[in-house]
Amino acid sequence: MQRRDFNEYKKNLGNKAAEFVKSGMVIGLGTGSTVYYFVEALGKKVAKEKLDIVGITTSNKTKEHASSLNIPLKSLDEVDSIDLTIDGADEVSNDFHGIKGGGGALLFEKLVASNSKKTVWIIEDSKRVKALGKYPLPVEVVKYGSEKLFQKLEKRGYKPTWRLTDSGNNFLTDDDNYIIDLHLRRISSPHEFSRELIGLVGVVEHGLFLDTVDTVIVGSKGEIEIID
């Protein structure tokens, strides 16, 4: 698929997701290049239809974008709960589990999703998989002792790599942590693996989003499929 087509399907997905938003809702705003188009569509909808909504962002990037479009925002702790969260994903299995965090926003994305009554992911068809794991699994870790944690993950055979910026420095999350990506190929027991990772001291969060999503909107070749 060419970049132009790619952006086209992302735009279609963003527009479709914006149709789910109704006045009076508290909306979780995910992160990523697909969500970018959702935020664009939402900004237009808020301006045109004078929608009374509040957005809860999952990253500084989305916060800046949504603010620039005059979408009213609050922080997670300022609302009772979130009616609907729209986010992207890096991989989604047939049984509706996912890997997220390709953009490094996994911690806030999981916090927002876990306080949402409904979560919708917008993805391109190629992200659907039988089993999770081909996409590197991000693990957000505190800086202190992170080298030791890296070695532990290496010893367990999880093929870790540091997430780096283009200039070769450690990527820093919005919460000022590092990310270690695990190159696993296949995660056969995601719930078990999730418990193992969270049990490691120094791990803040990981990108396995299990039992999180209610609806997946899939875009492929100009068509959109809604799966729930």
Binding positions for ligand 5RP, rule: CB under 6 A: 30-34, 87-90, 100-106, 109
Minimal distance, residue 60 CB to ligand 5RP, in Å: 12
Establish whether 40 is a catalytic residue.
no
Choice between 83 and 205, CB closer to ligand 5RP: 205
Minimal distance, residue 226 CB to ligand 5RP, in Å: 17
32 is known to lie in a ligand binding site? yes
Choice between 104 and 160, CB closer to ligand 5RP: 104
Choice between 98 and 160, CB closer to ligand 5RP: 98
88 is known to lie in a ligand binding site? yes
101 is known to lie in a ligand binding site? yes
* Marked catalytic residue, from 40, 91, 109, 205: 109
Minimal distance, residue 185 CB to ligand 5RP, in Å: 19
14 is known to lie in a ligand binding site? no
Q: Do the bridges between strand 128-129 and strand 91-93 make them parallel or antiparallel, or are there none, so unpaired?
A: parallel
- Residues 157 and 165: beta-carbon distance below 8 Å: no
90 is known to lie in a ligand binding site? yes
Minimal distance, residue 22 CB to ligand 5RP, in Å: 23
Beta-bridge mates of residue 26: 54
Choice between 83 and 109, CB closer to ligand 5RP: 109
Which residues contribute to the annotated binding site for substrate?
31-34, 87-90, 100-103, 127
Catalytic amino acids? 109
